[in-house]
Amino acid sequence: MPTSARKKILYVTDQPQQAAGPMAQAIQAAVQDHDVCCFHMTAEKASGIPGPEKGTGPGSGHSTALAHYSFTCPAGSPRSLGTTVNKALDHQIHQWGKAFDLVHLDGSSPAIQAVNLHGNLKELPKVLSLGRDPVAGKAQASSAGAQNPEVERIKHWFQAAGFTYYLPATQQLKQQLSGEYGVHAEKMRVVPQNPGASHWLADLYTETLATCGKLPGGRPYRQCTKCVLDTADDPAIQFDDDGVCTYCHMYKRNDPRAVFKGKDKQKELERIVDLIKKSRKHVKYDCIAGVSGGADSSYVALKLKEFGLTPLLVHVDNGYNSDLSNNNVKKIVEHLGFDLHNYTVDWEEFKNIQLAFLRASVLDIELITDHAMVAYIYNLAAKLGIKYIIFGHNYATEGILPNGWNHEKMDLLNIKAIAREFGGMHTLTMPQLSFWRRPYLYLIKGIRGVTLLNYLDYDHRKAKPEIMAKLGWTDYGAKHTESIFTRFYQNYILPTKFGIDKRKAHLSTLIASGLMDRATALEELKKDIYTPEGFRADLEFVINKLGITEQEFNAFMTAPIRQHTEFPSYVTTHYPLEKAFFDRVRPLTRLIKGRKNKV
C-alpha cells in the first residue's frame, strides 16, 4: 500500500486492551494498512489521577503503527480526563507528525463521552465513525415499537452536545424521532442547536455520512457565514477566507447587472415603460403578464396599472391552484380592470406527464408546469403580435438558487423523452417551446421578456400590505405555494427525497439582498416545514388528484434518484453545440459591433 493512502486512525473504545471480539479484530485488520492508535476508556469509580498507561498491549514497542493507551475515568471528573486524553493525543500526533484521519468511537460509556464532549479534539481534521450506520435499523425499531439502542445512543451523543442531528430521514422516522425522542431530524445535516455546542461534532458526523457515501462530495460540513447555504446544499460550494460562500459572491457580482439602482433606475424604468407603450401597434394590449395569484405577480399587475400600461393578464391553471390564489387573481382583475385570459391544461395529459416524472425518479417535477406556463405565454404573444412579456421573477427575492436544485426549464426534449419512456406518450398537446422556436420568437418576432421588479426597489415586506390594501389580496404564507402541488413538492418531495430545503435558497437571497438578517433566517429554518395535518391534507389531495394509492406514491419516494440528463436533453445535446457555435461567431459579432460603434 502506498504511504499516501495510509491513514492515522484513532479508536476510542470502552473495551479493554486485552478484550477479544469485533473491536479487537477491527484494530488488527486496520493496523495492516494504517497507523492505529487505541484509547481504551474504562469507567471506574476508582479515585486518583486519571492517566494513560502507554505500551502494555500487542504491537507496542515493536511497531510505530500501533499504539495503545488505557485511561480510567474517575467518577465526577470527566473534564480532567479530557485534559489527559488531549495530552496523549498531542503526544501521538507529535510522534506521527500528522493529525488523525479517522476517529472511531465505540461504545457510549461516560468515559467515552468525556473524551468526546469535554476533550478538546477540535484541532484534528478527521472523520468520526460510530461503528455501525446509525441510520440503519430505524424502520424495524419503529414497527416493533421498541427503543432502538442506536437511536438512543445517537440521541445521547448529540443531544448532550446540544445538537440537532440530521439523518436521511423519512417522514416516518422524523415523526418517530421527534415524538419518542424529542429530537428533530432532517436530511444529512448536523446543526448545532445551542451556541455553546461545538461545530466540531457537527463536522465529524457529517463527514461520517460523507465517507459512508451518504453525502456527495465527501467534504466536511460547512455553512456560509453570511447566508444559510452549506456543503449539503451544494457539495461544490466554495468559501472565501471569511467563510462567505460562492453564492453570496455571485449575488453581489450580478446584483448591479440585474437590478437597476439610484438615479439610473428611474430613468431606465421610464425608458422601458415607454418602449412597451410604443410597441403597441394594432393590438389592444402592449404587453402580457402572467398572474399566479402570488405576491410577486400581483404586485407586478398593480405596478403595470400605475405605469399606465395595458397588459393582457394570463393565468395558467395546472389543476392544482388553491382557492386563495384563484380568488387573488379574481380580485386583481376586479380592481385593475385588466382583461384576463385563462388557460387550463388538459388535465388527463398533464397528470400522465407528472406520473411519468414521478416514475422516472427525477428531481424537477415542476419542469412541466414551468415550461408550459412560459411556452403558453410566449406563443400567445407571438399569436397576438405582442412584443413584451412581463415576468414576476426578481433578483431581490429569487437571485440565489444552488446548482442542481432544478433542471433547465426550457428543456422540452427532456419532458418529451420522460413522457415517452415512462408514460408511453408519443405526442404532447401541452404548450411547448422548442430549442429552434426560441430564436425565432426573439429575432424574427422581436419578443422580449421584462423582469419589471428588478427596476423597482422590490421589497416583499412592503409589497404585501400594498397589494392587500389596493387589490384586496390575501396572503397565504410561504413563497410560491399558490399551487397545492408546488407546496407539496417544496415542503415534502424535495426535502424528503432529494434533501433540498427550498426555504434555504429563498432565505439566503433575502439575506444577500439585505431584506433579512441571518439570525432571523436561522430561526425561520427551525420552524417545521409542514404541520402534520397540513402534510396529510396535501398528500391526500395530490394522490387523489393523480389517482394513485399512498403505497404507489411512497414507492416513488423511495425509488433511487435519477438525473434528468440520463434521458435525452437539450443540456447534453443542443446546448453544448449552441455554445460552441457562439464561441466561434463571437469574434465576428464583436468585429461587426465595433464597426457599427465607429460609424
Binding site for Zn ion (CB under 5 A): 224, 226-227, 245, 248
- 335: Cβ contacts below 8 Å, ≥ 6 apart: 470, 471, 472
Question: Toward Zn ion, which CB reaches closer, 374 or 507?
Answer: 507
Question: Toward Zn ion, which CB reaches closer, 8 or 226?
Answer: 226
Closest separation in Å from C-beta 226 to Zn ion: 5
* Burial profile 331-370: b = 16 or more Cβ within 10 angstroms, e = fewer: bbbebbebeeeeeebeeebbbbbbbbbbbbbbbbbbbbbb
Closest separation in Å from C-beta 68 to Zn ion: 44
Positive or negative CA dihedral for 385, 387, 392, 398?
positive
Closest separation in Å from C-beta 11 to Zn ion: 37
Say what the alpha-carbon torsion angle 283, 287, 288, 293 is, to the nearest 10 degrees. -130
Closest separation in Å from C-beta 523 to Zn ion: 17
Question: Toward Zn ion, which CB reaches closer, 402 or 495?
Answer: 402
**How far apart are alpha carbons 515 and 460 in whole angstroms?**
9
Closest separation in Å from C-beta 244 to Zn ion: 6
- A 10 A CB-CB count for 569 gives 21
Long-range contacts of 513-518 (CB under 8 A, 24+ apart): 513/251, 513/255, 513/395, 513/396, 513/397, 513/399, 515/396, 515/397, 515/459, 515/460, 515/461, 518/226, 518/227, 518/228
Cα of 311 vs its chain's centroid, Å:
36
Question: Toward Zn ion, which CB reaches closer, 245 or 456?
Answer: 245
Question: Toward Zn ion, which CB reaches closer, 165 or 251?
Answer: 251
Question: Toward Zn ion, which CB reaches closer, 188 or 245?
Answer: 245
Closest separation in Å from C-beta 222 to Zn ion: 11
Question: Toward Zn ion, which CB reaches closer, 185 or 505?
Answer: 505
Cβ contact 332:301 at 8 Å:
yes
Question: Toward Zn ion, which CB reaches closer, 233 or 286?
Answer: 233
Residues in the chain: 599
DSSP label of 567: S
- 549: Cβ contacts below 8 Å, ≥ 6 apart: 543
Element (H, E) at 313: strand 311-317
**How far apart are alpha carbons 323 and 320 in whole angstroms?**
9
Closest separation in Å from C-beta 491 to Zn ion: 23
Closest separation in Å from C-beta 400 to Zn ion: 8
Question: Toward Zn ion, which CB reaches closer, 238 or 344?
Answer: 238
Cβ contact 432:375 at 8 Å:
yes
Cβ contact 8:34 at 8 Å:
yes
Q: In terms of DSSP bridges, do strands 163-165 and 190-192 run parallel, antiparallel, or are they unpaired?
A: antiparallel
Closest separation in Å from C-beta 495 to Zn ion: 20
- 508: Cβ contacts below 8 Å, ≥ 6 apart: 224, 227, 228, 229, 247, 248, 400, 521
Cβ contact 403:498 at 8 Å:
no
Closest separation in Å from C-beta 402 to Zn ion: 10
Question: Toward Zn ion, which CB reaches closer, 226 or 502?
Answer: 226
Question: Toward Zn ion, which CB reaches closer, 229 or 345?
Answer: 229
Closest separation in Å from C-beta 405 to Zn ion: 15
